[in-house]
């Protein structure tokens, strides 16, 4: 480009960050400053997101401080979310809590939800309940908050507390909307729900998933504990009734689309965390490129999942330092 402004720099940094190329995003950010282009709020969202998914804790802390010290900008909620996500992923939950408590602005629901989600992953009851208390004060009618809290109790073995949370949802009239996934094949939209058996190719889809599960188990893949929560709650024994909608959509896409066509799935009310390894395995066997979109409260935010689809893509992902990365933009 003959002329590069902050928009073009931000587009490249954000693009690298989205696709899991953390070092490319960071190097471009440093080059941006060297040539005299001043970073803005959007720039720092991309850089902090890149650091988060590359576990670059110290680097991210330095960048966050530079937002105000070097450039005179006031960090926005999305920057704090990135930092809480970063510390939570790294397991530094006490630091994440202190970071939230020390925020000069009022933490919003996304900040608390990010902290609660990290506590569920790391099974930290004390901080998780602390985050849930603030989150439910802000969004008492949001089903996702209750589900996160009940999942925290479940993975921690606190089944009575988990059941009380579910009962609280019922008493307050809060209902969890079922997760669903869509994809387009030959100009037709196909929708899937959890345990869906209404599709004409349902038998083939479940057979394919069964084969994939066996192969995944052979290399040590274990189903994430979250995926078992609904079956425990419902008290049903048929495991096929709890196959997630995105797995059904992916299987249908792999069965129906030519090898060269990426599988593009739109997810609504679907929690993707914890399922990435399964998708990575599916991608290795079917040599596909996933492109998924996650719907959060009515607005689509891009989520890209990469797996090996060719020698070129494989080499490119190695250069980026990862085979599989998922990045959500807080913008």
CA separation for the pair 71, 167 (Å, rounded): 49
In the numeric block, which tokens belong to residue 28? 């471009």
Most confident of 30-39, 96-105, 208-217: 96-105
The answer on 158 and 11 residing in a single domain is: yes
Same domain assignment for residues 17 and 157: yes
- Domain boundary among the residues 171, 189, 218 is at 171
- What pLDDT sits at residue 206? 87
Residues 160 and 186 in one domain: no
Is 331 inside any structural domain?
no
Domain match, 23 and 163 both: yes
Q: Kindly state the tokens that stand for 301.
A: 């935010």
Quote the number of domains for the chain.
2
Residues 11 and 63 in one domain: yes
* Residues 189 and 245 both lie in one domain: yes
Do 18 and 166 lie in one domain? The reply is yes
Asked if 176 and 230 touch (Cβ cutoff 8 Å), the reply is no
| Shared-domain flag, residues 301 and 216 | yes
Q: How far is CA 62 from CA 58, 84, 257, 305, in A?
A: 6, 14, 45, 28
**Residue 294 domain flag:** yes
The length of the chain is 331
Please state, in angstroms and as integers, the Cα–Cα distance from residue 222 to each residue in 3, 150, 209, following that order.
Answer: 50, 21, 14
Question: pTM for the full model?
Answer: 0.68
Question: With contact defined as beta carbons under 8 Å apart, do 295 and 266 qualify?
Answer: yes
The Cβ of residue 269 has, within 10 Å, a number of other Cβ atoms equal to: 18
Residue 325 included in any domain = no
Looking at the structure, do residues 228 and 162 belong to the same domain, yes or no?
no
pLDDT score, position 260: 65
What is the residue range of 214's domain? 180-319
Query: Tens of pLDDT along 170-183?
Result: 999 988 777 778 78
The arithmetic mean of pLDDT across residues 294-300, rounded, is 35
pLDDT above 70: residue 107: yes
Rounded Cα–Cα distance for residues 222 and 224 (Å)? 6
Are 148 and 52 contained in the same domain? yes
Residue 324 located in a structural domain: no
**pLDDT of the residue at 246:** 78
Whether 195 and 247 have beta carbons less than 8 Å apart is answered as no
User: In DSSP terms, which residues pair with 285 in a beta bridge?
Assistant: none
> Are 77 and 127 members of one domain?
yes
- Digit-coded pLDDT (tens) for 204-263: 888 888 887 777 777 666 655 554 554 445 444 444 445 777 788 888 888 887 766 677
Tell me: do 11 and 149 sit in the same domain: yes
**Mode of pairing for the β-strands spanning 263-268 and 290-296:** parallel
User: What is the predicted pLDDT for the residue at 6?
Assistant: 80
CATH number at residue 154: 1.25.40.10
């Amino acid at each position: 480009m003959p002329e590069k402004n902050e928009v073009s720099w931000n587009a490249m940094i954000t693009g690298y960050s989205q696709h899991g190329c953390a070092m490319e995003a960071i190097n471009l950010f440093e080059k941006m400053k060297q040539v005299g282009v001043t970073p803005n709020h959007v720039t720092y969202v991309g850089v902090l997101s890149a650091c988060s998914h590359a576990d670059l804790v110290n680097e991210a802390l330095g960048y966050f401080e530079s937002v105000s010290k070097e450039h005179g900008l006031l960090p926005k909620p999305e920057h704090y979310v990135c930092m809480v996500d970063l510390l939570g992923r790294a397991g530094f939950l006490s630091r994440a809590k202190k970071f939230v408590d020390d925020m000069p602005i009022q933490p919003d629901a996304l900040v608390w939800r990010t902290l609660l989600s990290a506590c569920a992953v790391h099974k930290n009851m004390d901080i998780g309940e602390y985050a849930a208390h603030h989150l439910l004060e802000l969004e008492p009618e949001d089903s996702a908050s209750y589900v996160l809290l009940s999942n925290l109790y479940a993975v921690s073995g606190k089944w009575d507390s988990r059941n009380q949370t579910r009962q609280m949802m019922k008493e307050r009239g809060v209902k969890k909307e079922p997760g669903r996934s869509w994809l387009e094949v030959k100009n037709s939209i196909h929708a899937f729900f959890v345990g869906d058996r209404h599709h004409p190719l349902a038998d083939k889809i479940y057979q394919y998933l069964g084969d994939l599960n066996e192969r995944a188990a052979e290399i040590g893949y274990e189903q994430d504990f979250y995926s078992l929560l609904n079956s425990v709650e419902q008290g049903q024994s048929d495991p096929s009734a709890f196959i997630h909608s995105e797995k059904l959509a992916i299987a249908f896409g792999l069965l129906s689309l030519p090898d060269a066509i990426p599988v593009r799935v739109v997810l609504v009310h679907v929690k993707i965390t914890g399922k990435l390894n399964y998708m990575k395995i599916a991608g290795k066997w079917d040599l596909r490129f996933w492109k998924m979109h996650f719907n959060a409260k009515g607005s689509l935010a891009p989520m890209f999942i990469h797996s090996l689809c060719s020698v070129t893509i494989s080499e490119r992902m190695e250069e980026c330092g990862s085979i599989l990365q998922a990045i959500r933009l807080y913008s």
